[in-house]
């Protein structure tokens, strides 16, 4: 049986609610998740159970016990996959928008993970819920995603991502005429203190360094097509950074405006290219996922033509 993960927090400055304090200090826990752990008896303040509304005090020790996830059996589902490349170690896919990557609340099946398991029936890598999936894409983001087919490949690819040796390029159509036309966004990202289900550029609480390099490819009618290269891999990073500059991704319902004059029903963000080294022989390899039709159409309507797209 798997043991609980235990985290100890030393309170330096008091006054915050217990649930809020924990969610700010433990990034993987939302405030709602912290409340559930408190209610279920997994959180103690100086070895005493407290309510979520308890105000922490300086000098106290908070012990957070995170139980392992409930065992789950991922069901293989015959969902079509757009395979860009495959060998004995790696599967590179072009994910369509609308396909959730791995099971989560409200998406127990019908995910990319279900489809991968059907394609590779004996895959037993990286955990039950996300077999072999090395990185993530938002459900409404299309494009390149990489899957490891064995433990050695998974470890190698994870090390490449951690060392920032994987080069990823995204395409985003944003609202407004981007100024300056090229630049580097170096702004830390954490949970939005006002909306805990969102991320934001924040300067206090728990933050993680986030860096995105961008440059303009074309501008038409108050829209800009941007090439974005994330140097770090934070949740919603490109969407948060571009919105922070004042140029949200078109049709981004969370960080921009869902309604748009271009008729898009999904956010215009596409994982366009990726470069990494193959785990088996160290050979550098490069893959491109062409823009899907639903993203080409608005560019054509705007008169935007970029060689290579």
Identify the residue whose tokens are 């826990």: 29
**Treating both helix axes as pointing N-terminal to C-terminal, what angle do 31-39 and 18-25 enclose, rounded to 10 degrees?**
120
Return the closest-CA partner of residue 258 out of 175, 172, 176, 192: 175
Q: Cis peptide before 122, with omega less than 30 degrees from 0?
A: no
The closest alpha carbon to 250, from 168, 145, 140, 143, belongs to: 140
138, 151, 252, 281: the active-site residue: 138
Asked about 88 being catalytic, the answer comes back as: no
Query: Rounded distance, CA 304 to CA 289, Å?
Result: 19
Distance CA(261)–CA(190), nearest Å, equals 31
Distance, in Å, from the CA atom of 305 to the CA atom of 36, rounded to the nearest integer, reads 51
Catalytic residue positions? 138
């Amino acid at each position: 049986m798997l043991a609980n993960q235990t985290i100890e927090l030393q309170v330096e400055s008091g006054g915050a609610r217990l649930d809020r304090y924990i969610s700010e200090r433990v990034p993987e826990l939302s405030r709602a998740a912290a409340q559930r752990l408190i209610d279920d008896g997994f959180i103690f303040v100086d070895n005493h159970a407290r309510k979520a509304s308890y105000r922490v005090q300086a000098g106290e020790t908070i012990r957070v016990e995170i139980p392992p996830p409930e065992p789950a059996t991922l069901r293989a589902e015959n969902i079509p996959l757009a395979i860009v490349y495959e060998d004995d170690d790696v599967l590179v896919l072009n994910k369509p928008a609308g396909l959730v990557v791995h099971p989560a609340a409200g998406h127990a099946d019908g995910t990319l993970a279900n489809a991968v398991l059907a394609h590779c029936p004996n895959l037993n890598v990286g955990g039950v819920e996300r077999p072999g999936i090395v990185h993530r894409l938002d459900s409404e983001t299309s494009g390149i995603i990489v899957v490891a087919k064995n433990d050695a490949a998974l470890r190698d690819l994870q090390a490449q991502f951690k060392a920032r040796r994987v080069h990823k390029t995204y395409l985003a159509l944003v609202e407004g005429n981007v100024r300056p036309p090229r630049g580097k966004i170096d702004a830390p990202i954490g949970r939005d203190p006002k909306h805990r289900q969102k991320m934001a550029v924040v300067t206090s609480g728990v933050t993680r360094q986030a860096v995105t390099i961008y440059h303009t490819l074309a501008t038409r009618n108050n829209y800009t097509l941007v090439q974005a290269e994330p140097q770090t891999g934070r949740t919603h990073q490109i969407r948060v950074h571009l919105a922070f500059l004042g140029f949200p991704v078109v049709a981004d319902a969370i960080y921009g405006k869902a309604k748009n004059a271009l008729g898009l029903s999904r956010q215009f963000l596409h994982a366009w290219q990726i470069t990494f080294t193959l785990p088996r022989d160290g050979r550098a390899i490069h893959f491109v996922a062409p823009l899907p039709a639903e993203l080409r159409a608005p560019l054509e309507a705007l008169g935007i033509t970029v060689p290579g797209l």
